[in-house]
Amino acid sequence: MNHDEAIRLMSSEKYLLDELSPELRDQFEEHFFSCTECALDVRAGAMLIEHSKVLLSEKPGLNPVPAADSTTPGWLAWLRPAFAIPVLAALLAIIGYQNLVTYPKLELATSVPQILPWASLNVNSRGENTPVITVSPGQGFLLFVNIAPEAHYSSYTADLYNPAGKLEWSLAIPVTTADDSWPIRVPAAHRDEGTYTLLVHGITAPGENSEIGRSTFALHIQR
């Protein structure tokens, strides 16, 4: 899971509400351990929930009602104040956090012009120099991917591998007659320094897949 996907899925909020599937929960935990922004979101949300519970527990008249007998259906337990009040507090805390922190931060990030580091990659050529992209910790960058058009391909896929050889993401690229260069915005994330590899495959109309070429770039983190 990358940072853009975590934001799109509202993973921080759903993680705190335990609404993520086991697979998505594992992916998000792996992501936020290396993403300062998501880790702060989770930590701040958890603190808001805990503080809300403390405040509510100190208010008079909110004592839990006696437990229902064993014949009460399980899902009805959520209607009892003992359960409903903490759940409501958590929801209110998360909604408040979204309105006061998350949404303004996202709006600011999308409305401010930025000059991003970039590199031009020629995937069909061999023996070219490896460009170096210098970024701040957690900063995104641009890749201008140059692919010589070939008539028998109906689309391409670009796969980015990190220095450890692990696939970071895969992107479908349409074929056009006018362009042979595609700008790809690589989302912000906390990445390791080293040499990254972009592998491009051509896809034919019947679905046959073949490697067209690959290119590398070195990522330098400016501390």
Domain boundaries, the chain: 3-111, 118-221
Residue 78 confidence (pLDDT): 46
Residue 174 confidence (pLDDT): 83
Architecture of domain 118-221: Sandwich (2.60)
Higher per-residue confidence, 100 vs 21: 21
Mean predicted confidence (pLDDT) in 195-218:
92
Residue 211 confidence (pLDDT): 92
Burial class (CB in 10 A: 0-12, 13-18, 19+), 103: exposed
How many CB atoms are located within 10 Å of the residue 141 CB? 19
| Percent of the chain clearing pLDDT 70 (strictly above) | 65
Instruction: Name the average pLDDT for the chain.
Output: 76
Mean predicted confidence (pLDDT) in 170-196:
84
Task: Please give the sequence-ordered ranges of beta strands (E in DSSP) within the chain, or none if there are none.
Answer: 118-122, 132-135, 141-146, 155-161, 167-174, 181-186, 194-203, 209-221
Helix axes 81-97, 36-58, angle to 10 degrees: 140
3-state class (DSSP) for residue 170: strand
pLDDT in tens, 29-41: 877 777 777 777 7
pLDDT in tens, 66-77: 554 545 445 445
Q: How far apart are CA 42 and CA 25, in angstroms?
A: 13
Higher per-residue confidence, 81 vs 25: 25
Residue 41 confidence (pLDDT): 75
Residue 76 confidence (pLDDT): 47
Higher per-residue confidence, 153 vs 91: 153
Instruction: Enter the tokens of residue 201.
Output: 């495959």
pLDDT in tens, 7-16: 888 887 787 7
Q: What angle do CA 195, 197, 200 make, to 5 degrees?
A: 170
Mean predicted confidence (pLDDT) in 157-179:
86
Checking if the pLDDT of 187 tops 70, the result is yes
